[in-house]
Structure 1
């Protein structure tokens, strides 16, 4: 019975596991893969660890073999070094995978085309279609590395599930049916053509998204000679995206930024063409657009709307002048201190000072600050930091519309907020830039850092945000760790604009806002009321975060009336205050 093997098992059978063990391993693989599937960042960590471990094991095997084959010493050392590096630095391993995997796919596509030369025409056509599909998909994957990393994690989880199912099938003694040759002859070309169609569609979408990326023109570059004083006009050019009956200017001006250091900011000024005498000013603090330099509203298409400002016609019709800052680090050289009040608010008031230097524009000593979302918090900070320093501007009121009045509270609910990981990326990036004791990577898991780079690098109002939306939907908050803890939590608490204030406040809130919650606003206003501030909270039922500030929101006429009353010096109808 033993034949020439003398009854000893073959190498293959010696390594074959008992069926019961294979069944257990199959169940474990299916369960782990199923758990990892909606957690691609964790799956990516498993992929990195398994690949690194496999390299280390292979390196050890080669090292043993190198005793008798010296030529194996170099590959052994390479495998051990690469595998060990992957285990020690998983962040860099992910970045390498996001390049190597697409290149491997491209290489496989080229090989598929070359390998089928000289075969029959149908086989060759099928191979060319499949090869071109692989080349296109590899190119798309190279263009969007964060999405590629997520895809690798998802694929790793799927392969784990599939491998587990195969082990269960084998343990049960089942033999999966094999497709016949006729089926394969039909399926292969159909699959190749479908793959090519999908690849062409994805490549086309990628090209469209890439073409839509904003760029920073030379207007925003730092000149050689910059005034030392904040609020000085440095550069000006026409701004054309204005309503009928208005004229506009794009401005570059001096301000202060992180740590009170001198900085440059940009913005726009819009004024009625027909104007007599000095005109009152509405200075606008825009909502979140991103943290990358390219996310400045003044350089984006329909830039004011990108920052959630839809009332330029109404402001012009009132005879007011609109001044809208981009903040420090958006348009101008960064970084941008997202939701860091003291580093963003000065630019909003300094923009008004700079606008006073425009030829032919006469501004009254009456200013009302409006702001939405991120800008709502910035507007509140202009009142907290501004009075005293901004007396010459005549700030007579602040309207904070769905303001992030407590950034710590907002961060606490990002895990249940649609797109929450995008805003988490903005927060950790902005606070890392603003504070030496806040380190972004302390709050991002190593295998999630490439993903967070992608989320932080795109603007909310631009087409590329679709990639961030897909990534955010797939990963949720899994790239992050301890965002509301430690030093970062303490810094978030420092950026709550709890006053005191010297001017009346209007806080407006949408009743169904899922990003800035109503309960957060109520707690904030209650604290201000308790300390005697002149503040009024108006909640608009049925309105969400952006719907609050665009027509036909009932806030619009209320805001215009409230602002006109401030310019007229009328008393407020605040529910609490002095």
Structure 2
């Protein structure tokens, strides 16, 4: 199936095929990796730097926990931030929100748990603590701790999100086994993928649903748009990060000269979150150095993106998807195509679009919808579905 959808920076419509996902089998997981998922390697009390006027923090810790690679099935150590509210938990323990954060970078210094404001994600965490949820936020493999971050690789991201729940329950024994995944952009893809693997990989936990905001579920059209020089300004700025990140587990992109070959030191500096990283990345990997000037090179990049596109398998639990109709990073047509395919596989999805909203801020009404949806899932209420119908559209604010 090819869905035509794109627009150029000038707003002129162009044809760009969104290709079907190429389902990739998860690796065989080593016995040691299975047995140690969520195990705490080390943890620290987070210093008193977080803005907490409402005193919603009962306990806050940064920790390194064990998870699993979605590439080879081996043990990986992953960092994250973990919180529980103050006071006594409800019967059954604190319900858990596992957050998949949006793109910060792909260097080891790009983990939100290293920063006093969680790289801007603290208000989201604080909001959920105030509503009575324990919160786990993985940094993802290779961000915030040693390793090589496999950017947008869905199995690794899913395992990290689920094992963050296991880690939180190791740290805070009054946390429930019932959990919900919440993520935006890269994190939207991560929690969507966690929903797909939860039945098997999430044994011992109970997923009640996932909320995917502006999810990077299927970005295969970036290959064709780059080849025709029709990327939006937002996509063009992101292209070196996407291509460089995906090349980490698709060496063919470098071997076939689609990307410039960097030394280990150059790659580390270019993809860090340091002050000069973006400037250095523009120097070492300017968009024009990504060679997508013929069908062969476009096809190689498209195939790499198809392998990480969602859906890969049916969902395990209900899902809410919200995206903006003016999103110039993850185009709304791409999200619709992914939602429709997941519905076709049997998923129960409520799809909400926000008029005139872009990629980053969907507006207060959208977050109110998400908050209500989260409460209803933990309350055990039936989840609505728009599968087979048009998405609900919220007016612009």
In which range does the TM-score fall when normalised by the shorter chain? 0.7 to 0.9
1:501 Cα deviation from its structure 2 partner: 0.7
1:530 partnered with 2:344: yes
Contact 1:328 1:334 in 2 (8 A): yes
- Asked which structure has the greater CA Rg, the reply is 1
Verify: 1:312 aligned to 2:312, yes or no: no
The CA deviation at 1:410 is 4.0
Picking from 181, 187, 194, the partner of 1:369 is 181
Question: What corresponds to 1:331 in structure 2?
Answer: 144
Q: Partner residue of 1:508?
A: 322
Residues 484-511 of structure 1 deviation map (CA, whole Å, 9 limit, x = unaligned): 6344422310211213112101111012
Residue 162 of structure 1 is matched in structure 2 by none
Other-structure match for 1:229: 36
Q: Which has a greater percent of strand?
A: 2
The answer to whether 1:250 aligns with 2:62 is yes
Q: Is the 8 A contact 1:304 1:310 kept in 2?
A: no
- Asked whether the 8 Å contact 1:419–1:476 carries over to 2, the reply is no
Instruction: State the secondary structure of the residue aligned to 1:508.
Output: strand
Find the aligned partners of 1:357 and 1:575 in 2 and give their Cα distance: 37
> Could you tell me how far 1:458 is from its partner in structure 2?
3.2
1:335-379 CA-to-partner distances (Å, cap 9, x unmatched) read 1100111122201111110111115x4111211101111111111
TM-score (norm 2): 0.78
Conservation of the 8 A alpha-carbon contact between 1:231 and 1:255 = yes
| Superposed CA offset, 1:67-116 (max 9, x none) | xxxxxxxxxxxxxxxxxxxxxxxxxxxxxxxxxxxxxxxxxxxxxxxxxx
CA offset at residue 286 of structure 1?
A: 0.6
The whole-number CA distance in structure 1 between the counterparts of 2:140 and 2:349 is 25
Considering Cα pairs closer than 8 Å and 6+ residues apart, tell me whether 1 or 2 has the greater RCO: 2
Matched residues in 2 for 1:230 and 1:454: separation? Answer: 28
Cα distance, 1:410–1:238 mapped onto 2, change above 3 Å: farther
More helix by share: 1
- Give 1:191's aligned residue: none
1:287 CA displacement? 0.4
C-alpha distance in structure 2 between counterparts of 1:479 and 1:283, whole Å? 37
**Hey, what's the Cα distance between the residues in 1 that align with 2:122 and 2:234?**
21
1:36-72 CA deviation, whole Å, 9 max, x = no partner? xxxxxxxxxxxxxxxxxxxxxxxxxxxxxxxxxxxxx
CA distance 1:421–1:289, change in 2 (3 Å): same
Q: Following superposition of structure 1 onto structure 2, how do residues 437-452 of structure 1 map, counting pairs within 5 Å?
A: 437-439=252-254, 442-445=257-260
Q: 5+ unaligned residues in a row in structure 2: which ranges? A: 1-32, 389-397
Equivalent of 1:297 in 94, 108, 112: 112
- Looking at structure 2, the residues matched to 289 and 413 of structure 1 have their Cα atoms a distance apart, in angstroms, of 23
Q: Equivalent residue for 2:165?
A: 352
Shift of the alpha carbon at 1:456? 3.8
CA–CA separation in structure 1 for the residues paired with 2:196 and 2:345:
14
1:494 matched to 2:301: no
Counterpart residue number, 1:457: 271
The answer to whether the 8 Å contact 1:396/1:504 transfers is: yes
Counterpart selection for 2:74 from 242, 247, 261 = 261
Cα distance in 1 for partners of 2:140, 2:255 equals 21
Matches within 5 A, 1:109-508: 229-240=36-47, 241-242=49-50, 243=52, 244-246=55-57, 247-257=59-69, 258-277=71-90, 278-305=93-120, 308=121, 310-359=123-172, 361-413=173-225, 415=229, 416-439=231-254, 442-445=257-260, 453=267, 456-459=270-273, 463-464=275-276, 467=279, 471=282, 477-482=287-292, 485-498=298-311, 499-508=313-322
Q: CA deviation at 1:400?
A: 0.7
> Under a length normalisation based on structure 1, what TM-score does the superposition of the two structures give?
0.55
CA contact (8 A) 2:37 2:66 kept: yes
SS at match of 1:546: coil
Corresponding residue for residue 30 of structure 2? none
Shift of 1:439: 2.9
Q: Are 2:234 and 2:329, in contact at CA under 8 Å, matched by a contact in 1?
A: no
User: Aligned partners of 2:263 and 2:234: how far apart in 1?
Assistant: 17
Count of matched residue positions in the alignment of Structure 1 and Structure 2: 343
Counterpart selection for 1:567 from 375, 378, 385? 378
Superposed structure 1 runs of 4+ greater than 6 Å apart: none
**d(CA) in 2 for partners of 1:527 and 1:228?**
34
Unaligned 5+ segments in structure 1 are 1-225
Structure 1 residues 425 and 449: alpha-carbon distance in aligned structure 2, compared to 1, 3 A threshold: farther
CA contact 1:367–1:394 (8 Å) conserved in 2 = yes
Q: Could you report, residue by residue, the CA deviation over 1:403-445 in whole angstroms, capped at 9, with x for unpaired residues?
A: 0010313454465232545532222332232245443672125
Write the distance in 2 (CA, Å) between the matches of 1:449 and 1:511. 40
The aligned counterpart of 1:142 is: none
CA-CA distance at 1:536 after TM superposition? 1.5
Contact 1:454 1:468 in 2 (8 A): no
Contact 2:142 / 2:148 at 8 angstroms: preserved in 1? yes
